[in-house]
Structure 1
Amino acid sequence: MPEFQASNDMMSPLTLFLHADIVVKVVMLGLLAASIWTWAIIFTHSIRLKRINRATEKYEADFWAADDIDAFHTKRSNEKLPSAAILTAGMDEWRRSTRTRNIDRSGTRERLATRMNAAVAAELDRLGDRLNILATVGSVAPFVGLFGTVWGIMRSFTSIAAQNNTSLAVVAPGIAEALFATAIGLFAAIPAVIAYNRLTHGLDRLEARLSRFADRFHATLSRELEAEG
């Protein structure tokens, strides 16, 4: 029983890390740092995306219920929301294009669509910032862990050759330390891949929502343009 307990202690994560080669230790620490960074991005982006979705839904409901678009824009244009940025882009282009006496209606419609589509793209770029880190960690971490494993196994076989002893008691600890690097790599990569797919899906849904808002607002301004004619 004491020998079994000792073996369990030797196979603990801390013991495996402390007994590993310096290169494998660096790989493990790098992967742990990547995992912590990944979870920080996951939490911050998940919370922010949920908050923005709720706020955007309320903002758009209030906008379509408003009787005066100019008054609504003046009152709520400073809100840090994607819909507010789209509204500001559309109103700015509307005022610029309808300032002259002879209005180019076709050109105004094209410019309105361009400005609002650009605003949608800019907001999505801002919200998607650092998601590429999740993709990078998800694709690279397993290979980094594999490098640590290969390096550790090479060192283990070198030690075996030096000791001229191939018993399992000699081989197992070194190989376990090496394989632990791959385990950490998978621990970092799997949540990163899952979170990247989920957050990207959330951004795609938000993009569809913002595009619908921009299209409806563009249609509203187009009707207003025709009424002025």
Structure 2
Amino acid sequence: MGSGLNFLDLILEASLLVQLVMLGLVAMSVMSWTIIFQRKKAISDALINAKKFEQKFWSGIDLSKLYNEISSRSGQSQGIEALFTSGFKEFARHKKNTFQSASIVMEGTHRSMRVALSREIEKMESSLSFLATVGSISPYIGLFGTVWGIMNAFIALGEVKQATLQMVAPGIAEALIATAMGLFAAIPAVIAYNRFSNSVEKLESHYINFMEEFANILHRQAATQIEAQANVSA
């Protein structure tokens, strides 16, 4: 209990600038943890939804029925469903033009899915740059508070005739707290940034694989339809 009070006393007795540095680091740490929990939930939800969707997609369900089912829901489709709806909508639009070749139909479909992919990955990467920034600058901000606190401690030490360790120790201790708080803010942010970046890369790779498989299915459908129309015309 005493050590806790001493720790609090050191913070309260620190200079105004050092206190502002500590306050800023606490704010950055709180924001980092908020983002960490938000990104963890968003990425976890995206993986779960992708697994559920792919189970239904590969179950043999009619793609038009699946598209209508997703489109009828309230709100905009997200994640892998957004790739599917964007691609299928564009495919259906181009397919109505019977004079277009399968390659032209698929070019528009691919382009639509790539735009959707970029949009979804951008959502997943939202706020990750803040974690990287916190991880990069927090130790230096803490170090600045430490240097400033130690400088003030030695200035105060120079104003007395007889200096003792008991006189300088509190000033140095309160200054070092700033460095500790900087590391406390930086370490979780760096770990979370690296982990989430890796998760987003894996998710993006998963989405791209689905896009290619889905595009192959649509290409076969387009080629079959064009061939059937050619036979009818002949």
TM-score by length of 2: 0.90
| 1:92-107 correspondence to structure 2 within 5 Å | 92-107=89-104
Q: What are the Cα deviations for residues 145-203 of structure 1, in whole angstroms up to 9, with x where unaligned?
A: 01101111111111011123331111111011111100000000000000111111111
CA distance in 1, matches of 2:222, 2:59: 20
Counterpart code for 2:221:
E
2:116 alignment counterpart: 119
Relative to 1, partners in 2 of residues 1:161 and 1:15: Cα closer, same or farther, differing over 3 Å?
same
Relative to 1, partners in 2 of residues 1:215 and 1:9: Cα closer, same or farther, differing over 3 Å?
closer
Report how many residues are paired: 223
CA distance in 1, matches of 2:4, 2:223: 79
Relative to 1, partners in 2 of residues 1:111 and 1:80: Cα closer, same or farther, differing over 3 Å?
closer
Give SS of 1:67's match: coil
CA distance in 2, matches of 1:111, 1:211: 16
CA-CA distance at 1:36 after TM superposition: 0.9
RMSD over aligned Cα, in angstroms?
1.7
Segments of 4+ in structure 1 off by > 6 A? none
CA-CA distance at 1:94 after TM superposition: 0.6
CA distance in 1, matches of 2:120, 2:111: 14
CA distance in 2, matches of 1:49, 1:199: 8
CA-CA distance at 1:51 after TM superposition: 2.0
Q: Out of 122, 139, 143, which is 1:142 matched to?
A: 139
Contact 1:66 1:72 in 2 (8 A): no
2:53 alignment counterpart: 59
CA-CA distance at 1:48 after TM superposition: 2.2
CA distance in 2, matches of 1:136, 1:225: 47
Give SS of 1:124's match: helix
Counterpart code for 1:168:
L
% identity of equivalent residues: 38
CA-CA distance at 1:9 after TM superposition: 6.6
Contact 1:55 1:81 in 2 (8 A): no
| 1:46-195 correspondence to structure 2 within 5 Å | 46-77=40-71, 78=73, 80-195=77-192
CA distance in 1, matches of 2:61, 2:77: 22
CA-CA distance at 1:126 after TM superposition: 0.9
Contact 1:16 1:177 in 2 (8 A): yes
TM-score by length of 1: 0.92
Q: What are the Cα deviations for residues 10-49 of structure 1, in whole angstroms up to 9, with x where unaligned?
A: 7x32111001000000000110111111111111211222
